[in-house]
Amino acid sequence: MIICPVCDHVQPEGTECDVCGKRFPVAAAGATPPVAPLPELELTPHAGGRDAVNAQPLPELDITRLRSGPDLPPQVVQDLELTRSAPTGDLPVAVLPELDTGRAPDDGVRTAAPLGAVTCRYCRNVQAQGLLCDNCGMRLPRARVAPAVVAGKPGADDDNWMACPSCHTRGRPGRACSECGTRLQEKT
């Protein structure tokens, strides 16, 4: 890896830094400095493979290497607990009357959507308007009130809106859908 001396950028190769453009010094080809061996070091040549080593086993060590392969006979452990049981057959399943399933019967009463001033659940700020808390910026639990639509009469803001044929998102005819990009065609 090359480390740029100017900007400390690390890169795998190249003649100049990819970030700052500093040119790296180029070593002269074939100019390897001479290396003199140190006389106090032992030279240990390596042939590049596994050489056989003649060594006698130590008598005080146990030989723990086991034979491997199919020549080992299988052994049965007498005190081993078996994890299988005999087949039980068809048994009647009794319902436990005291078991709580965790669901209460539906009483039909629904929680009313919060309208008016709402308390932020994060910072406890009470705010009357807006979808985001003015104090901490988190989303407030507001309900969007749908406009009442009379059968056969579209609302005042429904004059030129239509549903996208691909994703059913509301959009203006003649424009691209904001969700999928399909061109909305005017009804004829």
Higher pLDDT, 4 or 160: 4
Total residues found in the chain within this entry: 188
In a domain, 185, yes or no: yes
In a domain, 64, yes or no: no
In a domain, 98, yes or no: no
Half-sphere exposure of 121 (CA within 13 A, CB side): 6
In a domain, 125, yes or no: yes
What is the C-alpha to C-alpha distance for residues 183 and 175, in angstroms, rounded to an integer? 6
Token pair belonging to 44: 């240990």
How much is the mean pLDDT over the chain?
Answer: 78
Tens of pLDDT along 94-148?
888 888 878 888 888 888 776 788 888 899 999 988 888 999 988 888 766 555 5
Tens of pLDDT along 46-61?
666 667 778 887 888 7
In a domain, 51, yes or no: no
Q: How many domains does the chain have?
A: 2
Q: Can you give the pLDDT at residue 34? A: 83
Query: Which of helix, strand or coil describes residue 126?
Result: strand
In a domain, 122, yes or no: yes
Per the CB < 8 A criterion, the answer to whether 125 and 132 are in contact is: no
In a domain, 121, yes or no: yes
In a domain, 36, yes or no: no
> CA distances (Å), 26 to each of 16, 22, 31, 128, 186, in order?
10, 12, 11, 70, 69
> What is the residue range of 132's domain?
114-144
Rg (CA), the chain: 41
